[in-house]
A and B are shown apart, each in its own frame.
Chain A
């Protein structure tokens, strides 16, 4: 086993991407994810890769589109308003079935907002702002180790499904330090191997085969409809294969929290605080946000009195929580916004309020 090292989230994510075989990165600086861009600018060339600092996030996503269309293994990263600028590109990449891994390190919005952490990009990630019937596959790790372990898998899923995969963390995970074991490096593929592995890629015909065409424009409605139906088959398959979720203590629970990313860790401490007062709380931690683990909510026993969505937003994931609960339980929100992290006592107080227990 590799040795544990102490790393900042952003640098560990970047190193994990390189070790997953990523050789191309296009980016534009934005806090709180700058260490990813900085790390790639310093390290990628040492592995024979290319780093380009684009003139904007719009340029960066389109460079990534080009690099990935040529068969390169590409990572792109940004934070909330920067990810907003990339939305059009995501739609194009989904339409043309180009694999890409997106690291979204979110901060407080709307607008420029704040550089402090936020989770108000749940809609942005899972619903998206690009046009058309497309989905990103979105995963939300809650520790640096989980994110690092997820990186190689994210590249694999992107490649297998030929669809962009987003790893969505908030600024806390990007900025915090944690001991981490880095994965073993996977050798990068190049040259002829790329055209074998990715026969759709624009690797040059060398006069020996038909041109590969990558396009999102379909002039015949029937052709476009067929294209969208094909994509949808892929999305339906993903709903069966890519759901990831962790649960704790649902059986005995009076109240169940639903939280993802760093907020799930804060919530775990709230669960302990409530236990000290004799209140049993359970936790559902969706790891895949799209596809969302709706079925897991069927495991909540009927005896539960309240379900609480804990998020650093005014309530976005709560919509999916309500779909999962199917009206079986009252669902309420526990959250802070503006770049403020919610504290375990605040979450515990919201639970007691939902249970009708006096604080």
Chain B
């Protein structure tokens, strides 16, 4: 089971399409379920579609405060600015914060303005890796990606999240394949592999394939962000 002994502020970075937003939404909902004061900040200024603020109502109902852009135009501003109110949960020592950054190193650039809150004692930097995205499907590609994000933000990754998937065509073997990729990344970078994400419907298929790996921490996910017709 997940202990969630991660640091109070969890910054989530990764390649666009890695599943940062889905992971962030699931993570925030799990924190709220545990009765924790939880905030989710959508700092994605790179991607115009499919952002966590689109699920704002659902999140707020479940007790997650959502922070996004200044204008309240939600999804339609081409150059969204980030609301200053995001500093609220970051400064509140009782508030667990999940920061969903934009994709790639360019999307992560926005984090720099909040850098003073990212004290390593209080903050984790998670990198979501999807081993089925062409650019991050190899050790070299994934490392290169992480280095660029670290260089851009000036912060080191403190944990890897294996979110290897092919959307509706994901098989348990994809998750295991991502686990092997991330394990190797983990030993090269000296950074722990924290979670292996898996949709609820695949859990039964996945569990027997992972019994030989003692460090295989499964992070069960529900897909909140994807409309059903997209996967027809």
Residue B75 is within 8 A (CB to CB) of chain A in the complex: yes
Q: Which of B75, B76, B165 contacts A6, CB < 8 Å?
A: B165
Which residues of the partner chain B approach A5 to less than 8 Å between Cβ atoms?
Answer: 132-134, 137
Residue A156 is within 8 A (CB to CB) of chain B in the complex: no
Q: State A8–B230 Cα separation when bound (angstroms).
A: 13
Q: How many A-B residue pairs have CB under 8 A?
A: 61
* Stretch binding the partner chain, chosen from A82-90, A264-272, A311-319: A264-272
Q: Which of B24-53 contact A (CB under 8 A)?
A: 47-50
Given A7-B134, A179-B169, A344-B229, A339–B76 Cβ distance below 8 Å?
yes
Q: Is the CB of B78 within 8 A of A6?
A: no
Q: Which of A4, A6, A114, A115 contacts B130, CB < 8 Å?
A: A6
Q: Is the CB of A116 within 8 A of B76?
A: yes
Residue B16 is within 8 A (CB to CB) of chain A in the complex: yes
Q: Is the CB of B132 within 8 A of A114?
A: no
Q: State A6–B178 Cα separation when bound (angstroms).
A: 13
Minimum CB–CB distance for B188 against chain A, Å: 23
Q: State A4–B169 Cα separation when bound (angstroms).
A: 9
Q: State A182–B129 Cα separation when bound (angstroms).
A: 21
Which residues of the partner chain B approach A115 to less than 8 Å between Cβ atoms?
Answer: 48, 76, 78
Q: Is the CB of B166 within 8 A of A269?
A: no
Q: Mask for B135-177, Cβ within 8 A of A = 1, else 0?
A: 0010000000000000000000000000001111100000000
Residue A31 is within 8 A (CB to CB) of chain B in the complex: yes
- Interface residues of A, CB < 8 Å — how many? 24
Q: Which of A93-151 contact B (CB under 8 A)?
A: 114-117
Residue B212 is within 8 A (CB to CB) of chain A in the complex: no
Q: State A302–B49 Cα separation when bound (angstroms).
A: 42
* Stretch binding the partner chain, chosen from A20-28, A170-178, A184-192, A204-212: A170-178
Q: State A344–B227 Cα separation when bound (angstroms).
A: 11
Which residues of the partner chain B approach A178 to less than 8 Å between Cβ atoms?
Answer: 167
Top 10 A-B residue pairs of the complex, sorted by shortest distance between their CB atoms: A175-B49, A179-B166, A269-B229, A6-B132, A179-B169, A5-B134, A266-B229, A115-B48, A177-B17, A265-B232
User: Footprint of B on A, CB under 8 Å?
Assistant: 4-8, 31-32, 114-117, 171-172, 175-179, 265-266, 268-269, 339, 344
